[in-house]
Structure formats: structure tokens, C-alpha cells
Amino acid sequence: MGAKLGIGVLGVGDMGRRHAHNLRCLVPAARLVAVADVAEKRAQQVAQELEIAHSFRSLEEMLGCKDLQAVLIASPDKFHAQGIQAAAAAGKDILCEKPIATNLADAHAALEAVAKAGVRLQIGFMRHYDPAYEAAMKRVEAGEIGEPVVFKSIGRDKDLPPISAYQSGVNGMLFYNSTIHDFDLARWMMRDEVREVQAYTTVAIRQEIEQYGDIVAGVVNLKYVRGAIGNVESYVQGLYGYDVRTEVIGSKGSVFVGSLHKTPATFLSGNGGTADLADHFLSRFADAYLAQDADFVENIVHEHPVRVSGEDGLKALELAVAAERSHLQRRPVAVSPN
């Protein structure tokens, strides 16, 4: 047996718990050394379930754990950047859930810490590892659809977020927490950078969340450097299912990820409909999360570059920041690194 990567998971809510299970049970090249969570009892419970010896109530405590070589960060959004900086300062390689940060200053500080420490940072845009997205991207890269002209992406979560999710203030607004996946796809699949965005948003069906600076749904139009255009739609309470679809239309054809079956009309509701969908992102992208975790571990063990870099995280964040500015200013906004 070859060397295994000693890794710890920070944050063991639903997302972190899935990563911890993957690393403990399904990634042969990994050795789950510890878990940490501000909810100490939750960390202890996960450690007991996964039969590992160490659980901690903070990242700082976990960083002192013997044999820890890397950290997977799955804490709430607003703590990602500080977690990256702390892990980097301790000389640990890092896989961080998206977003890299919720503002550009923190993102730049995190990347500077990574560069200074000489460690590797991967951002958790797991759709790069999804078989359907990988197959679509191979066709784009092979030139089968010609020059990409239009990008379209839809992301609709099923569950109605509780008001406490907004009151806590620890997660980014919709553009940072969810749409950022589509912003990453918009760069990756079009193989071009977005130069301008215009956001249209609404809280019409849940006006109470406006006071927390968030939205229920958003549509963001995109203009690319080389002349292409795009459109991204996000919605937090689809209720009928977890619905993710993406299309790249080119000069020779189109490639489409996601389907609601070949029916002339499809009805969907929380009580059922004429098509079945995944009910949660952890079920829809289960294979992608596992492939991502395994790839990160293999690349760190063999000292290869990571597949989705901190720079990719920064570029997607720049789109989210521009979209929020457009939302607040009600006008098109140029994408800027500042």
C-alpha cells in the first residue's frame, strides 16, 4: 500500500459529513485523521460514527493534530477565507468548499497566504467531476459544437430555507452560495471570461428575507470578452425537486446537461408531477463529490497540480460580486478584480 494523505475536515454539517464519510470510507489514498466543528458534540458524534480518534471544536485545535497534512474546509461561507489562511500558515494543503470568500479582499488575502506558504488550494466546484458535465466539456473542447455563442444555466434548490438560515448571517447571499457554481461553469464551459453582468432579482414571494440582503430568485445576463452572451437563473425554493440544467450553444451545434424527459409538456410540483428529479444536491452530485475528494487526495499525494485552483475560485467570486452590485445598483456592471 502506498502513502496515505492525513486529512482533517472542518465543519461537519451535511456537506462536511459527506466529505468526511467519503474520505474515511471511499477514498483509499486518504486517512481521515480528525474532524472539527464549533458544535463540539456534533464533531464528537461524527468522529464516533466514522470510528476516528480525534474531534475538535476549532480549526486551530485540529491543526495541532499529529499526522495532519491537509484540511478540507466545509464551514459556513463567511469563514472560508480565514480557514484557508490558518491552514496555509500551518503548512497544510487545502480543499475548500465554494465560495473561496464572500468578498474580494478576503479572497485575495487567502490566495496571498497560500502563495506565501507554498501550499496547494483547490476550490470545491464539484461539477467539474460530474460525468455529465465532463462529457459535455469534452465535446466543447473537441470543437464539436463549434465556437461557443450562448451559455445558459439553471440552478433551483428544492427546499425552502428556514428564516434562521438568513438570520445567522454566516452564509453568503444566493449569488455566493448557489449561483457561484453556474458562474464557474460560465467560465469553464465557454472557455472565456465574462466582462459584464446585469442582474434581475426578486423577493416577491418571500419579502421578509430582503432585510437580510438576500433574494429568492435571480436572473443574471452575461457578456463575454470574445462576444458571446449568457444567462444564469437561480431559485431557492423550487419545491418540486433539485433542478440543474446547463446548455452551451455554439456555431455548429449545442450540448445540454440535464433533462426533464422527452415529453411535450411537463408538470412539476411539491406533491409530484410528470417527471422525477433528484431531491438534493448531495444526491444529484454524489459521484462528483466523491470523484473530487479522491482527485484532490491523489494530486496532493503525488505532488500534482490541483484541478480547480484558487484562481478559479477568485474568478467565479468576481462574477458573484459584480452580480450583487448590479442587483443593488439596478444597472449593468463590469466584472472587476477589485
Residue pair 132/103 in contact (Cβ under 8 Å)? The answer is no
pLDDT mean over 153-158: 94
**Mean pLDDT in residue range 70-86:** 98
Q: Which pLDDT score, from 0 to 100, does residue 242 have?
A: 86
CA torsion angle for 277, 320, 292, 288 (degrees, to 10)?
10
Interior angle at CA 169, CA 97 and CA 70, nearest 5: 25
Which pLDDT value is given to residue 51?
97
- pLDDT confidence bin for 111, thresholds 50/70/90: very high
Which CA distances in Å does 216 have to 46, 203, 316? 32, 5, 20
Examine the pLDDT at 195 and tell me if it is beyond 60: yes
Domain residue ranges in the chain: 5-127+287-308, 131-282+316-334
Task: Identify the band that residue 3 occupies on the pLDDT scale cut at 50, 70 and 90.
Answer: confident
Q: 9: helix, coil or strand?
A: strand
How far is Cα 177 from Cα 77, in angstroms, rounded to an integer? Answer: 7
Torsion, Cα 250 255 257 261, to 10 degrees, reads 120
Report whether CATH 3.40.50.720 matches the domain 5-127+287-308.
Answer: yes
Burial label for 142, CB within 10 Å (0-12, 13-18, 19+), is exposed
Mean of pLDDT values over 136-153 = 95
For domain 131-282+316-334, give the fold. Dihydrodipicolinate Reductase; domain 2 (3.30.360)
Q: What is the CA radius of gyration of the chain?
A: 20
Query: What is the pLDDT at residue 271?
Result: 54
H or E element at residue 107: helix 104-117
Q: Read off the amino acid at residue 280.
A: H
**Long-range CB contacts (< 8 A, 24+ apart) of 278-287?**
278/241, 278/242, 279/158, 279/241, 279/242, 280/158, 280/159, 280/242, 281/157, 281/242, 281/244, 282/14, 282/15, 282/18, 283/242, 284/242, 284/244, 285/126, 285/127, 285/130, 286/18, 287/129, 287/130, 287/131
Task: Quickly state the pLDDT bin for 74 (edges 50, 70, 90).
Answer: very high
Alpha-carbon span 180 to 155, nearest angstrom = 10
Rounded to 10 degrees, what is the CA torsion of 246, 283, 242, 139?
A: 10
Q: Average model confidence (pLDDT) for the chain?
A: 92
Compare 324 and 275 and report the one with higher pLDDT: 324
When pLDDT is averaged across residues 145-162 and rounded to a whole number, the result is 94
Measured from the Cβ of residue 223, the count of other Cβ atoms closer than 10 Å reads 16
